[in-house]
Amino acid sequence: MSEPFNACLYLLDRHLERGDGDRLALTGAGGDLTYARLHERVRRTAAGLRAIGLLPEQRVLMFMADSPDFVTVFLAALRIGAIPVPVSTMLHADGLAELLRDSRARLLAVTPEFTAVAAEAAAAAPELAGVVAADGAAITAPVPVHALADLVGAEPDGERPATTADSPAFWLYTSGTTGTPKAAMHRHASVRVVCETYGAQVLGIRPGDRCLSAAKAFFAYGLSNSLLFPLWAGAAAILEPTPSRPDLLAERARMFGATLFFAGPTFFANMLRAELPRAALGGVRLSASAGEPLPAALYHRWTEHFGVDILDGIGMTEMLHIFLSNTEGAVRPGTTGRAVPGYDLRILDEEGREVAPGTPGTLYVRGESTATGYWSRYAASRQVFQGEWLCTGDTYVRDADGYYVCQGRTGDMLKASGMWVSPAEVETRLLAHPAVAQAVVVAGIDTDGLEKPVAYVVTGTGVEATEADLVEFCRAGLPSFKRPRRVLFVDALPTTPTGKVRRVELRAHATGVLSGPQEEVALS
């Protein structure tokens, strides 16, 4: 049996034992909570969850906005050995019902914004035993509804958690950019691992920091940014319940004194397009990026405008957080950096052999934060979790200095004129054009049934370019076979709820582009 360990005690109780209960833990639109007040709320809620019959390892599906209530439910479930399962708040009722059934959740926790969707989903989840309604959430459901305020009012029972480092802690559903979401199962010790690797050794988070994340807490990246890292360090999380918008988060950063800002490349690009003033993030000392590769051109535009450095990295739901990253003072734009201390990386070819520097292959990672597998997905688990190693499904090249460059998802690579084309390389060239704010390249099928590059482009505010301009720009900077055969201008790129570009949707759209009429198209 592994060592006794509980992630809730690790994140909260340590600070009270050190006499830091008066430090600010949570702030933002939902109000302020010190560590002492949060600790009390969590202990009472844990007792309340026990009182309504929640048992260890039973699931609590969390359909909740980023708020003190989210943090309270998540930590209280951890404390009693139950399994919180945060899910995207952008789901419709049928999608939420599917996850309720897939997880076999006993409880559904919901905040007021989402009661209508939650009520409809609850009716289609036969194993659901109850709903926990946060303050102000009025919901009618076919199962008992428990007010979170009543649970918070429960008398703490003093029972100590019986979990170990290897006990199941929480599940996170993959974002579904390439298929049906799967629940990655994480253990209690994974929280300690990501905090003491990326949080300490890359981010360098400290007690005086205030963390603001564009990525929401139902996403693995956002969960660490807004809950795990700040609570571990004794810092404060700025929680924003409403959808992330550039102007809103800039205002929240100013209002609540953000020092660390987390987002993904798409959101960084949108902040530049919003034409925010240079001083909009004046108090932020460092930004971090994940979710998809950060193009060098976007990095330079951001840092030159806002004067805030970005640490680009790659993480996965299956690894909980970032395992490959640039570091402060050693950023190499256009790369994903080097291995985070505590993680091992290797690049393998199609035969499973390790490749030499400069040769592309599939990236594999090994580390102690790896999920134990996917819930009820045997075949998918065997494909991704290969012994100690996890197959990321990303194509990478490592240079002689140990920096890694993403070539795109392994399945996104395409062959044009019999030669491999990396979408990332073509996207980097397009982004070097002054009119291009965002670019994604996927495979289209021509009239001969052959793959050719097709580009989807979002232009910057107040600048223009034609399709011919951009095709010629690529021809001048890339081998001819890599140039896009079509450039399609769109107002916005389709994204998942976690902000990643849905390449699968673009690929489906591009299928008929090269064989159909050569006319302007728009994404729905």
pLDDT digits (tens, 9 = 90+) for 352-371: 999 999 999 999 999 999 99
User: Angle 93-103/115-122 helices, nearest 10 degrees?
Assistant: 50
Same domain? 143 vs 219: no
Stretch 422-436: mean pLDDT: 91
Same domain? 329 vs 462: no
C-alpha angle 453/454/458, rounded to 5°?
135
Mean predicted lDDT score pLDDT of the chain: 92
What local confidence, expressed as pLDDT, does residue 174 receive?
87
What local confidence, expressed as pLDDT, does residue 178 receive?
44
Same domain? 388 vs 452: no
Stretch 428-447: mean pLDDT: 90
| For residue 157, pLDDT beyond 60 | yes
Residue 420: pLDDT band with limits 50, 70, 90: low
- 17, two tokens: 């034992």
What local confidence, expressed as pLDDT, does residue 283 receive?
97
Cβ(8)–Cβ(161) below 8 Å: yes
How does DSSP assign 234-303, residue by residue?
Answer: T-EEEE--SPP-HHHHHHHHHHHT-SEEEE-HHHHHHHHHTT--GGGGTT--EEEE-SS---HHHHHHHH
CA dist list (Å): 370 to 65, 97, 231, 341, 486? 26, 27, 21, 15, 40
Last residue in a domain, options 409, 424, 459: 409
Asked if the structure places residue 288 within a domain, the reply is: yes
- The number of residues in the chain equals 524
Asked if the structure places residue 50 within a domain, the reply is: yes
Sign of CA dihedral 244, 264, 321, 411: positive
Residue 269: pLDDT band with limits 50, 70, 90: confident
pLDDT digits (tens, 9 = 90+) for 75-119: 999 999 999 999 999 888 988 999 999 999 999 999 999 999 999
Stretch 405-430: mean pLDDT: 79
What local confidence, expressed as pLDDT, does residue 419 receive?
66
Last residue in a domain, options 389, 409, 429: 409
- 66, two tokens: 């980023």
Domain ranges, residue 59: 24-163
- Of 37-46, 163-172, 194-203, 478-487, the range with the lowest mean pLDDT is 478-487
Same domain? 401 vs 436: no
Number of domains in the chain: 3
- Of 206-210, 395-399, 425-429, 447-451, the range with the lowest mean pLDDT is 447-451
Last residue in a domain, options 409, 430, 463: 409
What local confidence, expressed as pLDDT, does residue 467 receive?
95
What local confidence, expressed as pLDDT, does residue 121 receive?
97
Same domain? 154 vs 217: no
Domain of residue 94, CATH code: 3.40.50.980
Cβ(38)–Cβ(26) below 8 Å: yes
Cβ(185)–Cβ(372) below 8 Å: yes
Cβ(194)–Cβ(321) below 8 Å: yes
| For residue 424, pLDDT beyond 90 | no
| For residue 180, pLDDT beyond 80 | no
Cβ(112)–Cβ(137) below 8 Å: yes
Asked if the structure places residue 5 within a domain, the reply is: no
What does the alpha-carbon distance between residue 45 and residue 42 come to, in Å, rounded to a whole number?
A: 5
- 98, two tokens: 């599917």
| For residue 313, pLDDT beyond 60 | yes
| For residue 257, pLDDT beyond 60 | yes
| For residue 241, pLDDT beyond 70 | yes
Please give the single-letter amino acid code of residue 226. Answer: S
What local confidence, expressed as pLDDT, does residue 319 receive?
98
What local confidence, expressed as pLDDT, does residue 175 receive?
62
What local confidence, expressed as pLDDT, does residue 523 receive?
57
The 10 Å Cβ neighbour count of residue 358 is 10
Asked if the structure places residue 524 within a domain, the reply is: no
How does DSSP assign 366-426, residue by residue?
Answer: E-TT--S-BTT-HHHHHHHEETTEEEEEEEEEE-TTS-EEEEEEGGG-EEETTEEE-HHHH
Candidates 264, 272, 276; CA nearest to 213 is 264
What local confidence, expressed as pLDDT, does residue 524 receive?
46
Determine if residue 440 is left, alpha or beta; phi over 0 gives left, psi from -120 to 50 gives alpha, anything else beta.
Answer: beta
